[in-house]
Amino acid sequence: MQVRSPRSARTVRDPVHHPVFARWYARCSAAAESRGMADVRRRLLGGLSGRVIEVGAGNGLNFAHYPGTVSEVVAMEPERALRALAVEAALRAEMPVDVAPGVAEALPVKSEAFDAAVLSLVLCSVRDVRRALAEVRRVLRPGGEVRFFEHGAGGGRVMRATQRALDRTLWPPLAGGCHLSRDTVASLREAGFELGPYRRMTIPENGPALPQSFCVIGTAWRPLSDTGAGGG
Ligand SMILES: C[S@@+](CC[C@H](N)C(=O)[O-])C[C@H]1O[C@@H](n2cnc3c(N)ncnc32)[C@H](O)[C@@H]1O
């Protein structure tokens, strides 16, 4: 959305603006909850505790699945329409959830302020995965954990070639900036995280594999010995 700044005639653009995708995602993601996604979200978030930052929280479907051991969630969502829905979901949540605008590449929070970070179906859509993960590392305390559930590259040669071709053409403009051929596990390693257990899965679990079906769910840590990512 374009808005006029009150102080000048300058036009300010939201950093992420996908109103059509947002409407579609809100409807489809809510319907997918009863078709297995609620279980995936519970598995993703089970056992978390302390202060959590959720990056690209969308319409806030994770909020209902945080365990009671989480004391507070800060949910960043840059897309205006999805953020409004996340605010509504936050009001229904059992723990304090603070929804705020902000992109993964420049998280507007202090360094080392969180015990855990949640990345769910978001690394596919950020503009710069490397910067986003550097930010996640910065805002986590040393030893803090990342819980991730992401789709990405998978399948055989033909499927991977199809994913890459779609990424160069139709998919990102149609799917709110999403990409199909990213590799979350490799990106986390490159960003300096220690990989914990992770599991590959397809969504839907039983059914035809689509280009967006190849998912990974797991845990990574900012190393305890890592004291170099802070600074702000
Ligand atoms: C497929 S949706 C997933 C939403 C939610 N995480 C979930 O699990 O349902 C992708 C989300 O990433 C957000 N997003 C896109 N670019 C982003 C960026 N640069 N930084 C943070 N979030 C971003 C979108 O606005 C959208 O909410």
Task: Compute, in angstroms, the gap from residue 228 CA to the centroid of ligand 1.
Answer: 27
The pLDDT value recorded for residue 206 is 83
Q: Are strands 11-13 and 2-4 parallel, antiparallel or unpaired?
A: antiparallel
The pLDDT value recorded for residue 227 is 83
How far is it, in rounded angstroms, from Cα 163 to Cα 179?
A: 8
Asked if residues 227 and 60 have their Cβ atoms less than 8 Å apart, the reply is: no
Closest ligand 1 atom, residue 128 Cα: 19
How far is it, in rounded angstroms, from Cα 226 to Cα 205?
A: 37
Instruction: Of 86, 47, 94, 56, give the one whose Cα is nearest residue 219.
Output: 47
If one residue of 1, 14, 16, 53 were mutated to test the ligand 1 pocket, choosing by the most ligand atoms within 8 A of its CB, it would be 16
Tokens of 128: 């710069």
Average pLDDT along the chain, 232 residues, taken 10 residues at a time:
47 83 95 94 98 98 98 98 98 97 98 98 98 98 98 97 98 96 98 97 89 98 83 46
How far is it, in rounded angstroms, from Cα 72 to Cα 49?
A: 9
Asked if residues 65 and 92 have their Cβ atoms less than 8 Å apart, the reply is: no
Task: Compute, in angstroms, the gap from residue 15 CA to the centroid of ligand 1.
Answer: 12
Report the side by side order of strands in the sheet with 114-120.
97-100, 70-76, 50-55, 114-120, 140-151, 214-221, 194-202
Asked if residues 116 and 144 have their Cβ atoms less than 8 Å apart, the reply is: yes
The pLDDT value recorded for residue 220 is 98
* SS3 of residue 36 by DSSP: helix
How far is it, in rounded angstroms, from Cα 182 to Cα 167?
A: 10
125 lines ligand 1 (CB under 6 A): yes
The pLDDT value recorded for residue 9 is 43
How far is it, in rounded angstroms, from Cα 65 to Cα 43?
A: 9
79 lines ligand 1 (CB under 6 A): yes
Map out the domains of the chain with their CATH numbers.
6-221 (3.40.50.150)
162 lines ligand 1 (CB under 6 A): no
Q: Which helix (H) or strand (E) holds 121?
A: none
Q: Which residues pair with 75 in a beta bridge?
A: 54, 99
Task: Compute, in angstroms, the gap from residue 177 CA to the centroid of ligand 1.
Answer: 9
Task: Compute, in angstroms, the gap from residue 125 CA to the centroid of ligand 1.
Answer: 6
